[in-house]
Homo-oligomer: A and B are copies of this chain.
Amino acid sequence: MNLSKIKEKISNFKVEVPSWGFGRSGTRFHAFHIPGEARNIYEKIDDAAFVNKITDAVSAVAIHIPWDKVEDYKALKDYAEEKGTKIGAVNPNYFQDEDYLFGSLSNSDKKIRRKAIEQTFECIEIMRQTDSKILSMWIPDGSNYPGQIDFKRSFDLLEDSLKQITKELDEDMTMLLEYKFFEPAFYSTLLCDWGTSYMLSKELGDKVKVLIDLGHHPQGTNIEYIVSILSYKGKLGGFHFNSRKYADDDLTVGSIDPYELFLIFVELNKYFDLSSENQDISLVLDQSHNVKPKIPAVVQSLNNLQITYAKSLLVDYDQLKQAQEKHDVIVAEEILKDAYEKDVRDILREVRKEKGLPENPVKFVRKSDEYWEVVKRRG
């Protein structure tokens, strides 16, 4: 790929930012206050818009229901558009209502299951009003102790609930099924790995795909392989970008193992044009910036993704294929390393300059008066 093509792609590469990435977050031990935190969905949209103004890399704002509930969703949509952004994936929350102590969409109590389904219908209605096309489902249902649930029954109930929800989706809507190895359930989780999400997505049809969150795997998992297999079978629907060293740590994407992130992008490029607006994959940040100021952390995250994407575009796929056919392990590896070792920050700087953006957005935001006014205003 020539440099101008690469620059064009980087220029068009955009990612959704999560509304919750601008608010307070923490661990079960404490959620510390960080100056500048957004306190409601409007402030979160403000922050996303601000980040976009600096980076031109924000495709939309993913929202969480009920965290981001408002009276008037059309007004919310308008607000986002006024600010130069839009509403992205809608994420129903199945983990905070007291009724969900023993499960939501898989609860053996019919009334609670109904409630969870209705709540999802509400989210679909919100999607209609905000023109969102992605229903992003993370279902935390599972159990904490052997014997607590009957696996088959719970799985069956979940499948049934999802069938009802799938039917409710409009033609152009997609449901993404996220999976997670553990937490908040500590013994079993119904959607604990890509296999469970894939199994259900097959049963539920073409509107349902799998979402990969980078922090939701057992240690050692080869995520780029999962990316490849799911994409190959047409079932990869989206990404939650973050990093982890231990469990679902929700750290800044690219902060712990940037080479793994690069290898994931190397696979993604084989199946998707990530720079296209019409790409058939949802790319969303999903992080908890527990010890970092929120807006700068999102800017840093986007920068990390841009660096990684740029490097992945430098891979010589033709030569790679040749080396693979010859089983030339070292040469194949060095082709990847050659792209990875390049310092692409000059390319990024050029792209930004051409767009009239700050050349180093991470530095810029920390010195921006606009940013500090936000921090000051929010106290």
Question: Is there contact, CB below 8 Å, between B297 and A30?
Answer: no
Docked CA distance A232–B153 (Å):
10
Q: How many copies does the complex hold?
A: 4
Question: Is there contact, CB below 8 Å, between A186 and B329?
Answer: no
What residues of B have a CB within 8 angstroms of the CB of A202 in the complex?
202
What residues of B have a CB within 8 angstroms of the CB of A229 in the complex?
151-152, 155, 196, 199
Least Cβ–Cβ distance between A306 and chain B, in angstroms? 12
Question: Is there contact, CB below 8 Å, between A228 and B152?
Answer: yes
Question: Is there contact, CB below 8 Å, between B186 and A246?
Answer: yes
Residues of chain A at the chain B interface (Cβ within 8 Å): 26-30, 32-34, 95-96, 98, 101-102, 108-109, 140, 144-153, 155-156, 181-184, 186-189, 192-196, 198-199, 202, 218-222, 224-225, 228-229, 231-233, 244-247, 249, 251-252, 255-260, 263, 267, 270, 290-293, 296-297, 300, 307, 320-321, 323-325, 327, 329-336, 340-345, 362, 366
Query: Which of B32, B251, B259, B366 contacts A257, CB < 8 Å?
Result: B259
Question: Is there contact, CB below 8 Å, between B334 and A182?
Answer: no
Question: In the complex, given contacts A145-B251, A183-B247, what are 16 additional A-B residue pairs having Cβ atoms less than 8 angstroms apart?
Answer: A108-B324, A145-B255, A145-B291, A146-B224, A146-B336, A147-B332, A152-B229, A182-B247, A196-B229, A198-B199, A218-B218, A219-B219, A257-B260, A300-B333, A341-B344, A343-B343
Highest count of chain B CB atoms <10 Å: which of A150, A186, A344: A186
Docked CA distance A330–B145 (Å):
9
Question: Is there contact, CB below 8 Å, between B225 and A96?
Answer: no
Question: Is there contact, CB below 8 Å, between B146 and A341?
Answer: no
Docked CA distance A183–B26 (Å):
11
Question: Is there contact, CB below 8 Å, between B307 and A182?
Answer: no
Question: Is there contact, CB below 8 Å, between B220 and A181?
Answer: yes
